[in-house]
Structure 1
Amino acid sequence: MPNRSLPLSAYTATMAPTKFNFSAGPALLPKEVLLEAQKGLVDYEGTGMSVMEMSHRSANYDKVHRHCIDMIRKVLDIPTNYHVLLLAGGATYQFSAIPFNLLGDGNAVYVNTGTWSKKASTEAKRLFGERIKVVSTPTFTLPKVEDIEIPENCKYVYVCDNETVHGVEWPSAPVFGDVPLVADMSSNLFSRRLDISKYGMIYGCAQKNFGPAGLTVAIIREDLVGAAHPMCPVLMTYKTHVAKTWPAERNQDSLYNTPPTLCIWITMLVMEWIDRCGGIDGIEKMNRDKAAMLYNYIDSSPFWTTFVEGEIRSQMNVVFKCTKDDVDRAEILDFFQERGMSSLKGHKSLVGSLRASIYNAMPKEGVECLIQAMKDFEAAH
């Protein structure tokens, strides 16, 4: 145990009833949404049943499903030539679905900037071999767009927009001419304004910034639907989910089979919450303010340091560590836990790292409490 000028207990604040969950995922949801969901969990709008008990073919659920898609379109200002799909399963499911649907007879480029883009490229390469071209960058960096070589007959370029493990985020959409950009936005979808027209496809899983785990939102340009590989499983085929399925005269996206109804309902509630918070612009300002507070403190302290520099720092996942070799990470985590802050342990691949995930639902007060705890721990050492 290192020497301290004062005992650690002198810096341990009285536990407040509020606790803050900094988990990278599943992560916290807005408390307002959870309370609203709690009211409707047993009896949704006088139906005598929960949303998760309703038939997905019923008129009551139909309103939930359509309103969820409408609110996603509103929040992100999605052009009419893009489909919004509500798909079961996590983002990892899309690692296989994307090349099956989009590769056609061509090639694809995968830009490896961290753990999740590497996993996606590994799966695509397993399925389609040398047709998948991989561009890897040094850890905690992003490549220059002009340095990425695009092969002939390239059907798409794939990026992970925000790498949760390494805390690296593309500050804006990388554009590769007319080649469609496919982006895994699992950890930053709905966190900032996007120009959807710059992407061929965006997808993201819950729970980081919306809904419970088990739902993936996919936003895909209509001209990219319909050319799936003949061996693509029916539920992985995007055309399956945009077809007119039930009733025949209506376009019921994502209702080929029973969707994750509870996840979709709560996602709808989150979209309404974002709308009340000033829409996507209001959410983006809150997120940028929170991230700036935390990064500014870390940059000003000789006791803490981040792994990423410049504009590519993630606004969602702040990855940092203590600069003192004689300070044990477990001691830091215990100190945070005593003060009501959980899930700050960094990924196992980054030895000694800490990670604060400050998604949409993390209030400013949570970041302020974390900064105060970091100051107190620093003072104790």
Structure 2
Amino acid sequence: MKNNIYLDHNASTPIRPAAFAVMTELLRAAANPSAIHKSGRFLRAHIEEARERAAAALNAETPENVVFTSGATEANIAVLNGCSDVRHVIVSDVEHPSVRKSRDDLAVCPVDSSGLIRLEALEEALREAACKEGGILVSVMMVNNETGVIQPLPEIVALARQYGAFVHTDAAQAFGRVPVDMQALGVDALTLSGHKIGAAQGVGAMILRSGFTVRPLLRGGGQEKGRRAGTENAAAIAGFGAAIREAAAGIETYQALSALRDRMESEILRITPESVIFGRDAPRTANTCFFATPGLDSQALMIALDLEGIAVTAGTACSSGSTRKSTVLAAMGASQAEQDSSLRVSLGWSSTAEDVDAFIAAWQKICTRMKSNNAA
């Protein structure tokens, strides 16, 4: 098997050495972080240090506003189902499934061909909800996991406030890639995923504005100040804290990936001029290239690249052992041929110029072979 070149960072990014080191240390500790003896206090101190790092990196009002969870999926579901007095929830048509499937009564706003929410549709949904009883919550992700497109969150928040609505943003794909300042954004709730920034899988957080309450999704214990029951995964949380620190400090380095991404996209278009790059004309994170090459099957392309030792994604990888067709592309109005041939290449903190060179060489080889076979 060829050496693996990992270009699927939007699905999960490799664990950072600092996160791995602290997790290894804490996994050796046999204690419950709620215990008051020395071993328990040792784990508790690491949890609280991670909480302080998260609050500082995101400019939360206080560390107490940070609630650790098992990941962004749990955090998203908790916020969308636990907001006090909220009866109307408005989302965009390109949200993560943990938002789109969180409840059955969502109002869904369409997006344009770049995947940006249509603000006029959002205002119409807000106006309609405001005529009914009950509070309103708007939930729009900061950065799309498939396209890397950055939503106009300041405009979304300003519009929501005109109608007295609360705002939640899923920042799983944003933190560490673009500046994320909770107070500057003005949102009421923000959710994060550990494994998107180089921590372990199975840890995340929701950060709440002071005074914004969320009923606990998990009940039965007093952990996280009664807001999320269950013994905390101290090792994963400590690793999360280490990854948060490094991701926050490395935003400029991460944004420099745009040079590699842009060169890769130029070569894709040179080799296969028929390719379409989604969201190219919208603000995007520096690491993501989501594209389609009509006439070539995405599953076949993904397998061929995998055989060359290159890991990318066809569809999305949020379901166990499977990929699925992109509902994001359907929402953006992409053709069926584009949807059937789409691939996502996402760079990350460990990506190199050599990785991109290898992808370009493999893309040339595979597309030449596939087109030859199709013509035969």
Change (3 A) 1:34 1:101: closer
Instruction: Give the residue type in structure 1 aligned to 2:219.
Output: L
Instruction: Give the residue type in structure 2 aligned to 1:205.
Output: S
Structure-to-structure mapping, 1:17-166, within 5 angstroms: 17=3, 19-22=5-8, 24-30=10-16, 32-33=17-18, 36=21, 41=24, 44=26, 50-51=28-29, 53-57=30-34, 58-80=40-62, 83-88=65-70, 90-114=71-95, 116=96, 120-124=99-103, 126=104, 129=105, 132-137=106-111, 140-149=114-123, 150=126, 151-152=129-130, 154-165=135-146
Kept in 2: contact 1:345–1:355 (CA 8 A)? yes
> Aligned equivalents of 1:224 and 1:18: distance in 2?
45
- Deviation of the 1:213 alpha carbon: 1.6
Is 2:310 aligned against 1:341? yes
Is 2:283 aligned against 1:294? no
Q: Aligned-pair RMSD on alpha carbons?
A: 3.5
Deviations 1:9-65 (A, max 9, x none): xxxxx95x56325264344223x346635xx62x55xxxx625x4321312112211
Give identity over the alignment, percent: 12
Kept in 1: contact 2:66–2:205 (CA 8 A)? yes
Match of 1:369 in 2: 358
> Aligned equivalents of 2:241 and 2:256: distance in 1?
20
Kept in 2: contact 1:75–1:274 (CA 8 A)? no
TM-score calculated relative to the size of structure 1: 0.72
Match of 2:345 in 1: 356
> Aligned equivalents of 2:168 and 2:121: distance in 1?
18
> Aligned equivalents of 2:366 and 2:293: distance in 1?
10
Structure-to-structure mapping, 1:139-288, within 5 angstroms: 140-149=114-123, 150=126, 151-152=129-130, 154-165=135-146, 167-170=148-151, 172-173=153-154, 174-175=156-157, 176-178=159-161, 179-197=165-183, 198=185, 199-225=187-213, 228=215, 233-235=217-219, 243=225, 256-274=229-247, 279-288=249-258
> Aligned equivalents of 2:254 and 2:354: distance in 1?
17
Change (3 A) 1:288 1:77: farther
Instruction: Give the residue type in structure 2 aligned to 1:72.
Output: A
Deviations 1:303-343 (A, max 9, x none): 533233312445454221224x2x45455334423442124
> Aligned equivalents of 2:362 and 2:211: distance in 1?
51
> Aligned equivalents of 1:82 and 1:292: distance in 2?
40
Q: Give the count of matched residue pairs.
A: 330
TM-score calculated relative to the size of structure 2: 0.73
SS at match of 2:65: strand
SS at match of 2:211: helix
> Aligned equivalents of 1:329 and 1:109: distance in 2?
32
Deviations 1:254-290 (A, max 9, x none): 6x53112232122123134336xxx154244234444
Kept in 2: contact 1:103–1:156 (CA 8 A)? no
> Aligned equivalents of 1:120 and 1:236: distance in 2?
24
Change (3 A) 1:295 1:378: same
> Aligned equivalents of 2:63 and 2:200: distance in 1?
27
Kept in 2: contact 1:111–1:136 (CA 8 A)? yes
Deviations 1:139-162 (A, max 9, x none): 652133244221326432111233
- Deviation of the 1:366 alpha carbon: 2.7
Match of 1:8 in 2: none
Deviates more, 1:65-74 or 1:95-104: 95-104
- Deviation of the 1:203 alpha carbon: 0.4
Consecutive unaligned residues in structure 1, runs of 5 or more: 1-13, 246-252
> Aligned equivalents of 1:66 and 1:210: distance in 2?
19
Change (3 A) 1:21 1:35: farther
Instruction: Give the residue type in structure 2 aligned to 1:194.
Output: V
- Deviation of the 1:106 alpha carbon: 4.4
Instruction: Give the residue type in structure 2 aligned to 1:286.
Output: A
